[in-house]
Structure 1
Amino acid sequence: MERNGAGNEADRLCYEIRVCSCARWMCVYALPLLTSCFVSIETRVQIQESVRGKDVFVIQTVSKDVNTTIMEMLIMVYACRTSCARSITGVLPYFPYSKQCKMRKRGSIVSKLIASMMCKAGLTHLITMDLHQKEIQGFFNIPVDNLRASPFLLQYIQEEIPDYRNAVIVAKSPASAKRAQSFAERLRLGIAVIHGEAQDAESDQVDGRHSPPTVKTTGAIHPSMEIPLLIPKEKPPITVVGDVGGRIAIIVDDIIDDVDSFVAAAETLKERGAYKIFVMATHGILSSEAPRFIEESAIDEVVVTNTIPHELQKLQCPKIKTVDISMILSEAIRRIHNGESMSYLFRNIGVDD
């Protein structure tokens, strides 16, 4: 017997997973949870049914208040642990703080901190999807299954874009070229890369020793002690490597948050002759004014999965479409509960996918 517990923000996804589970003859039902807040805005979780000796799957999605979401999940996991659950598997389709998985100046690697907190709370297994960097799996000392949404997005392209054979897969920056290449090879399409796009200078700040403090010396430094410094980077003008004229441009990425870079990429592709522009990503955070910017841009359609709830954004912008991935999460839960191999869910997936 397995039981699914869901945080406040994950009720819809939990329901869809249960529907898929019941369709596969699984004995699954939702675990009654009472989640509330004190006057001091502290989160309180009460499990209203025994979980002793049971396999518990805690499903949580990320809301605008990501910190409350994380704390709520940690408390749910810890409550199950102290209630003697046999195993506690976290189902976290979008792993929060995944963008902060590298050292930036005197910052910290927050993804490692979140991973440590989850393990300390009592998590015994984690199911997630399309980590921003696959190396994040190494931050955990428990099994992590990093599922892929690309089969669902590829199916959407083949079924919902009638003339997709006249399309070209576009990477909006060299950093996402591998993902674009994977899509292009599976669809037997060409690839284009946008180079010179204004970025957040992420690559310039990955080393925590980027700017060491000034050292006072009483005399001149010996010439043999001088250390050569890197020449500062200068971003080239925006260029498109590849032909998009008279074609459909499909921009692929893993996360859509601040859409400025996608809007700029769409304008560039439109200038180069692309007559339709699609944006496809696994995680649609779509924060701030993203729906309005998308609606006013040259982008024809934005396709994301339901790893993050975005019903409000869809009401604000009809260009936003959703692909349901609850089926693969349901199958992963079933296989883990029954002790079956997960390799079926990773078939035909390469190292760079």
Structure 2
Amino acid sequence: MTDLKIFSGKANRALSQQICEYLGVPLGDISLGNFPDGETSCKINEDIRGRDVYLLQPTCPPVNDNLFQLLVMIDSCKRASAERITAVMPYFGYARQDRKDEGRVPITAKLVANLITRAGADRVLTMDLHAAQIQGFFDVPVDHLYAAPVLNEYFLSLGIPMEEIVIVSPDEGSIKRALGHAKRIGGSVAIIDKRRMSAEKTIQANILGGPVAGKVALMFDDMISTAGSIKGAANVLHENGVKEIHVGVSHAVLCGNAMNNLREANLASLICTNSIPQRADQMPPNTRVLSVAPLLGEAIKRIHRNESVSGLFK
């Protein structure tokens, strides 16, 4: 691992430190800041010529600041003659803008992929993309990780009887994810019929699949932003007699009216990962944050050694 260097942006330095502790390597020395006019400044404070460099920076809020900081870090490493540069993005912002769903709108996820590639990244390591096809937007290799094993391990540790579990998909687009969790955890599967009225408003009216009355609902999604969909799905489940609801997500963005929506959802617990930094005073009291540092650290080690990353999920 002597040729491996890991540097962290400002977005999630705590996760970067945990990854370095897992790998047994020091966190790289980098200076990041702003010039008086607000422009981003960056300097690599150690020699990286011929090194395998990993830059950890989720593009979480403030999205544009964190994204541009990543681009500047990539350019700095490229001009310092790094052998290979991997952009490690536990959370990929702009992922929901992955298609033209109406006229005269951009496909911003493709634009961001182009920016990262043209800046000089040789490959990308990310986790739970909102749309898996975003991998195809990059002209460099993309290693796409899943937080599902981390979430499954936690829920299995609760010891809930399998016959009481119902795995709930909050919408039709998450059916494959729900089936994957059901395969590992067990239980029946139910699907919430969700209709999106606008970017901020959705309507949930029906439950498709198995009965939920008297059962413990485990609801999984890739992210929570305003929590409007979670609130709507939880209301439908409560109306149909569910015993309690636990929600597991990879990315807790929690913006807008998220806190009020989560309180009104009456959840037994919210389980998320530390792909995005979380502050205790900004989270509901029944929240548990799980670390994905071992998962990302193992993926980085395998990439560095030219070993299989997909083997992590077999």
> What range describes the TM-score normalised by the shorter chain of this pair?
over 0.9
Name which of structure 1's ranges 236-245 and 167-176 shifts more when overlaid on structure 2.
Answer: 236-245
> Match of 2:88?
91
CA distance in 2, matches of 1:141, 1:276: 44
> Match of 1:340?
307
Q: CA deviation at 1:346?
A: 3.4
Letter in 1 for 2:312: L
Cα distance, 1:341–1:272 mapped onto 2, change above 3 Å: same
The answer on whether the counterparts of 1:33 and 1:45 sit within 8 Å (CA) in structure 2 is yes
**1:318 maps onto 2:285 in alignment:** yes
> Match of 1:287?
255
> Match of 1:109?
107
Q: CA deviation at 1:316?
A: 4.1
> Match of 1:231?
none
The answer on whether the counterparts of 2:204 and 2:236 sit within 8 Å (CA) in structure 1 is no
The answer on whether the counterparts of 1:3 and 1:31 sit within 8 Å (CA) in structure 2 is yes
The count of aligned residue pairs is 308
CA distance in 2, matches of 1:329, 1:267: 35
**1:273 maps onto 2:273 in alignment:** no
Q: CA deviation at 1:177?
A: 1.4
Residue deviations 1:179-213 (CA, integer Å, cap 9, x gap): 11221122221001111x342457xxxxxxxxxxx
Q: CA deviation at 1:319?
A: 1.6
| Counterpart secondary structure, 1:29 | coil
Q: CA RMSD in A?
A: 1.8
The answer on whether the counterparts of 2:246 and 2:270 sit within 8 Å (CA) in structure 1 is yes
**1:330 maps onto 2:261 in alignment:** no
| Counterpart secondary structure, 1:162 | coil
Structure with larger Rg: 1
> Match of 1:58?
55
Residue deviations 1:244-276 (CA, integer Å, cap 9, x gap): 000011111111111112112111111101010
Letter in 2 for 1:34: S
> Paired residue for 1:19, among 21, 24, 36?
21
The answer on whether the counterparts of 1:295 and 1:319 sit within 8 Å (CA) in structure 2 is no
Residue deviations 1:276-322 (CA, integer Å, cap 9, x gap): 00111111111123223313432111111111111245x54212211
CA distance in 2, matches of 1:43, 1:160: 45
TM-score, normalising length: structure 1: 0.83
Name which of structure 1's ranges 80-89 and 335-344 shifts more when overlaid on structure 2.
Answer: 335-344
> Match of 1:30?
27
> Match of 2:218?
250
CA distance in 1, matches of 2:185, 2:287: 22
**1:46 maps onto 2:43 in alignment:** yes
Letter in 2 for 1:339: N
Q: CA deviation at 1:237?
A: 7.3
CA distance in 2, matches of 1:271, 1:48: 58
By percentage of residues, which structure has more strand?
2
CA distance in 1, matches of 2:159, 2:93: 31
Q: Which runs of 4+ in 1 moved over 6 A?
A: none
CA distance in 2, matches of 1:171, 1:344: 26
Identity of aligned residues (%): 32
The answer on whether the counterparts of 1:294 and 1:319 sit within 8 Å (CA) in structure 2 is no
> Match of 2:7?
5
Cα distance, 1:69–1:341 mapped onto 2, change above 3 Å: same
| Counterpart secondary structure, 2:37 | coil
Cα distance, 1:249–1:36 mapped onto 2, change above 3 Å: same
The answer on whether the counterparts of 2:197 and 2:203 sit within 8 Å (CA) in structure 1 is no
> Paired residue for 1:77, among 74, 85, 94?
74
Q: CA deviation at 1:79?
A: 0.3
The answer on whether the counterparts of 1:158 and 1:164 sit within 8 Å (CA) in structure 2 is no
Cα distance, 1:200–1:83 mapped onto 2, change above 3 Å: farther
**1:300 maps onto 2:268 in alignment:** yes
Cα distance, 1:74–1:237 mapped onto 2, change above 3 Å: closer
Letter in 1 for 2:206: T
Structure 1: 5+ residue runs without aligned partners?
Answer: 23-27, 203-234, 348-353
The answer on whether the counterparts of 1:61 and 1:309 sit within 8 Å (CA) in structure 2 is no
CA distance in 1, matches of 2:143, 2:259: 31
CA distance in 2, matches of 1:324, 1:269: 29
